[in-house]
Structure 1
Amino acid sequence: MFSKSVSLAERKAALLKISRSLLMCLESSSSCKGTTQYTGWDFLPEQTKQSILEGSNKMEKLKAEKDGSLAWQDIHNYSRMLREGNMNWEDIPPEDLDIRLKWAGFFHRRKKVPGTFMIRLRLPNGIIWSHQLRGLCHFLRRYDLQQACFDITTRQNLQLRGIKLEDASFFLEELNQLRIGCFQSGMDNVRNIVGSPVAGIDPNELYDTRSICFALNEMISNKGKGKPDYANLPRKFNIAVGGYPVDTVHGHINDLTFLPVTKLDHLGKPLFKILVGGLLSPKRNEISHNLDIWVPEGSILEVTRAVLEIYRDFGLRNSRAQSRFIFLVEKWGTERMKAEIIQRLSRNNIEWIEPESDFTENDCSKLYSESLLGIQSQRQENKVFLGCVVPAGRISVGEAEDLADIADNFSNGELRLTVSQNFILPNIDKTVVERVLEQPLLQDKFSYKPKPLLRGLVSCTGSQFCGLGLIETKNRSLQLCKILEELVDFPDKETVRIHWTGCPNSCGQAQIADIGLMGAPAKKNGKLVEGVDIYIGGTLGENPVLGTIYRKGIPCDFAHLVPVMIELLQTHFGAKVKRSQESIN
């Protein structure tokens, strides 16, 4: 848009003109698609607004200057102006390009692939259908397939890579046709709603999470199209709903979790306990706290509404590092938090129950298979589901198209994503199991019977595409996995869960793995190199424990890392060495 001869003053004047045209568009309901009457700022109490304006939190001030929810209109306008040649993507104010557009689910990859975006969807309960996946593939095929791909996240979600901003309006229209949302999937919003990946099909489940996950998504994000009521939280907010008393949805590291108990209500349906305040972060890692209150299924939406409004209105906003929900829980104490929630429920005649003092949860730990891989029986007669591993969670466009075809042919078009970055094909007729297992994609890339290390592998995006990543993770994790499986056997262990995360933000959830590798600086021959801090002993489920540091600052090159991993696998996981590292080298 601007030539080199244009002065800085002229450039600023032109950008101001663009900003004014955007604001005029927002104010005119007839000239702007998807105009919102209110922004997230409008839902904040006056006291909170005043505190933000008087405070020193730069991100809160940025939101006060222009609310992130305005990105729901900006994304269309920027897309149009780019297509019409009225601006270049470099001309967009960086606060919009790199921050506010995340409210629309568009994440600029400035450091790695400038001018392209990662799009994070909203897929409640991790359910996606073959026609939806195929539609996404069709759109991605307009780009360089070395950059355009899918990543499964640890929230049962999909991230799409390589999309350009000028195509954003077309992409959003495609999502609308596919009935998929992406708004409010980033920044200070409620993230994808996690539920049981075997909801409605597992013979032993206590509760089918699908309906409530979809209802929560609709309430919080207007089906992923954007809802300003919850668009200006102090930080991100994670919600999970489990199908068992045992935590199978990573609920202990979510801000708000509902887990069913074996105590039934008057309708014969399970009641739910409420967990609050779990998180993994650079400064703080915390297992969630039990609020010691039960609610029936019909109260889950109102409890969620109450908690989000409490967090929005009273959450700490002075420091980004201390703004997650757990900090408000600790400031108030669990008793005050519980009392505030109960007061709001009672005011609206919403049912809640004090737990029975002598109640003992039935042992449900054996009802749920931690591994969902391979062929497993369903509650429906003559039906099975098939769980397959996705190495490091990465799927190419061609693989996704083949997977959509397999789903069409064998699982009524349905696919389900898991928090372990894998997928499930449900509702397969027993009569066609052999035909399913013969599919080349499932015999090769997406195995249903992987070896122990690949079986438990999880990896964040890493530095390949993420500007925060200190190390490359996905390719390195697969290479290390292959090397280790050639060197050692696991005679007594089916799965060893190894999680890779590129930085302390821990999107790869290193602290809940058997072995977690977190990107960190290391020294080799006196020089700084890519390295990892290693955690061990993390687990969720019946007795959740966060992992602890085993070694720090290990260089990532395999000459250093492989011996450390072999020693760790031998001493803690019963691995038996079958070949020397020198033979691999």
Structure 2
Amino acid sequence: MAASPETPASATPRRKVSRHRGEGQWALGHFTPLNGNEQTKKDDDGLNVRTRIETIYSKRGFDSIDGADLRGRMRWWGLYTQRKPGIDGGRTGFLEPEELDDEYFMLRVRITGGRLTTEQLRVIGEVSETYARGTADITDRQNIQLHWIRIEDVPAIWQKLEAVGLSTTEACGDTPRGMLGSPVAGVAEDEIIDGSHALDEIARRYIGDPQFSNLPRKFKTAVSGSPRLDVAHEINDVSFVGVVHPDHGPGFDLWVGGGLSTNPKFGVRLGAWVPEADVPDVWAGVCSIFRDYGYRRLRNRARLKFLVADWGPEKFRQVLEEEYLHRKLLDGPAPEQPTQQWRDHIGVHRQKDGRFYVGFAPRVGRLDGSQLAKVAEIAEVHGSGRVSTTVEQKLIILDVPEDRVTSLVDRLEAMDLRVTPSPFRRGTMACTGIEFCKLAIVETKERGSDLIDELERRLPEFEEPITININGCPNACARIQTADIGLKGQLVTDADGNQVGGYQIHLGGSLGLEASFGRKVRGLKVTSAELPDYIERVLRRFQAERADGERFAAWAARASAEALS
């Protein structure tokens, strides 16, 4: 076993602690809770809070909720308190949690692999309209988030969701959260292997299982057999990527240790090929390593990416094989570079069965309950009753006969759900932002929607693929480091010397087999009001200076600081 990583220096003197506390790794005998989060989990499994929600909190109201449940264990059932209205971004980092908490919740609906039936989509729409003031946001984790949820209504919401096979179990918390899958699994003409069955089996076996309900922190999963690499496998804790083994045929290449936030790291290949039938067992092995060896002492080092960085892929694979699988994995090939620049499946595409799937773009993932119900109705009339969400906050309707495609496209476009969107509509994502999130500093959703309109007006001729990701704080929920233009919300100083909402700029990030994190130019920040001017300026400079066929990320990597400013 590897030695415990060196303890980071502390800004203040610390009491001498037992050498057995280390990084809080269970496998090394470090079971003493080292922070409040670990103590809360030791006191009671987060899965157990459901009973209290149903029997006590929903009947007695918000003020009856125990603090450790409110800001901890309720996440195990997809519930976060949302931000109290009227608190500006400058106070985000200075207020206590109880000062930021509103008496309403965000509820995250878990959607494994992004796959929904129209019945399920309709029920989410009904829950949105009845209990969530019409709110519904598609996330870049293929989930749907609702807001303005009252604790009194949660049991009724669960009953409605679970009646159609949906769940909020472990949608948040230190658990195996929502699992990504190709939104066109099983239907795409170019698919290497259908990963949906393996993904479903992982969820069936392990979601809600107490053996994985106390992880050091969140654990993110992706499984896709698409050659488009359509699940952002590079930034998940564990990813299974479709490849063809020269001797054994289609299977999955195993990646571990990806993640963003304030210390981003790309996942690494273990060089191991995994057949479809073995994916759940290998997933459990990787998750068990995280549970047993993951760092629990400091929350900001409690992601799998730090363990992988310290161990390296060779040691990680060795521990996985020897201690958890008790057998060797086969060596295998790496995935090939995708041929498409967009990986989002937007537009009209032929399926392997001769029917079509149609991907379309809401504005920055934001819909409302009535729109979800209309999409469900349209999908039933034109398809087979199957819909998918994507990791770019988009939607896809599957199984459309050729003679129904035009009608479907017309219906969607009439709802401002674009099947042939501009690059700006197609490539702009935004996190929840200050409207609801207690960590946010700036507004994001409305800002993103307005930015789309402004760029379409200013640059109608722009046709190159471009991703613009807007985040309300440094935590990178909207993947700012991997966007062509990543916008990290923070307070900036305007021309009059006032502190106002704005963004630090990241430029030239990308995913794919040539993945890179965006470049930061020293001092490059803009106010929210200056944002359209800045993006117009840098995109016009890109158009003027790019080589033939050069993508924005490649140009941004070589451009001068002056060109990017």
TM-score range, shorter chain: 0.7 to 0.9
Deviation at 1:330, TM superposition (A): 2.4
**Which amino acid letter does the alignment assign opposite residue 60 of structure 1?**
E
**Which amino acid letter does the alignment assign opposite residue 437 of structure 2?**
C
CA change 1:294–1:345 in 2 (3 A) is farther
1:119-165 per-position Cα deviation (integer Å, ceiling 9, x unaligned): 112211101111112122223333463xx311101111111222211
Aligned with 2:502 (options 531, 535, 541): 531
Aligned with 2:120 (options 132, 135, 138): 132
Deviation at 1:106, TM superposition (A): 1.3
Q: Which runs of 5+ in 1 are unaligned?
A: 1-43, 83-87, 577-585
1:290-369, aligned counterparts within 5 Å?
A: 290-344=269-323, 347=326, 352-355=329-332, 363=336, 365-366=338-339
**Which amino acid letter does the alignment assign opposite residue 200 of structure 2?**
F
| Cα distance between partner residues in 1 of 2:49 and 2:256 | 30
Q: Which structure has the greater CA radius of gyration?
A: 1
**Which amino acid letter does the alignment assign opposite residue 285 of structure 2?**
A
1:39-67 per-position Cα deviation (integer Å, ceiling 9, x unaligned): xxxxx9977785433x3x22212222333
CA change 1:48–1:339 in 2 (3 A) is closer
**Which amino acid letter does the alignment assign opposite residue 384 of structure 1?**
F
| Cα distance between partner residues in 2 of 1:242 and 1:569 | 32
Contact 2:230 2:344 in 1 (8 A): no
Match of 2:170 in 1: 184
| Cα distance between partner residues in 2 of 1:73 and 1:109 | 22
Deviation at 1:557, TM superposition (A): 3.4
Match of 2:107 in 1: 119
**Which amino acid letter does the alignment assign opposite residue 293 of structure 1?**
A
1:203-226 per-position Cα deviation (integer Å, ceiling 9, x unaligned): 1110112111111111221xxxx2
Q: Which runs of 5+ in 2 are unaligned?
A: 1-23, 86-100, 547-565
TM (norm. structure 2) is: 0.85
**Which amino acid letter does the alignment assign opposite residue 250 of structure 1?**
A
CA change 1:476–1:343 in 2 (3 A) is same
Runs of 4+ in 1 over 4 A off after TM superposition: 44-50, 361-364, 573-576
> Secondary structure at the residue paired with 1:208?
coil
Match of 1:10 in 2: none
| Cα distance between partner residues in 1 of 2:325 and 2:168 | 34
CA change 1:59–1:163 in 2 (3 A) is same
1:295-341 per-position Cα deviation (integer Å, ceiling 9, x unaligned): 21121111111111111111101100111001111232322211111
> Secondary structure at the residue paired with 2:137?
strand
| Cα distance between partner residues in 1 of 2:513 and 2:155 | 45
Matched, 1:562 2:532: yes
Deviation at 1:77, TM superposition (A): 2.0
Match of 1:209 in 2: 195
| Cα distance between partner residues in 1 of 2:232 and 2:273 | 20
Aligned with 1:424 (options 389, 392, 396): 396
CA RMSD of aligned residues (A): 2.3
Contact 1:533 1:553 in 2 (8 A): yes
**Which amino acid letter does the alignment assign opposite residue 217 of structure 2?**
R
Match of 1:507 in 2: 477
Contact 2:78 2:108 in 1 (8 A): yes
Q: Percent identity?
A: 30
> Secondary structure at the residue paired with 1:286?
coil
Deviation at 1:447, TM superposition (A): 1.0
| Cα distance between partner residues in 1 of 2:544 and 2:154 | 51
Match of 1:392 in 2: 364
| Cα distance between partner residues in 1 of 2:280 and 2:340 | 27
Contact 1:72 1:183 in 2 (8 A): no
Contact 1:245 1:262 in 2 (8 A): no
**Which amino acid letter does the alignment assign opposite residue 515 of structure 1?**
I
Contact 1:529 1:555 in 2 (8 A): no
> Secondary structure at the residue paired with 1:103?
helix
| Cα distance between partner residues in 2 of 1:416 and 1:288 | 25
> Secondary structure at the residue paired with 1:168?
helix
1:429-454 per-position Cα deviation (integer Å, ceiling 9, x unaligned): 00112211221x43342111111211
**Which amino acid letter does the alignment assign opposite residue 173 of structure 1?**
Q
Match of 2:259 in 1: 279
Match of 2:137 in 1: 151
> Secondary structure at the residue paired with 1:115?
strand
Deviation at 1:81, TM superposition (A): 2.5
| Cα distance between partner residues in 2 of 1:396 and 1:556 | 29
**Which amino acid letter does the alignment assign opposite residue 235 of structure 2?**
I
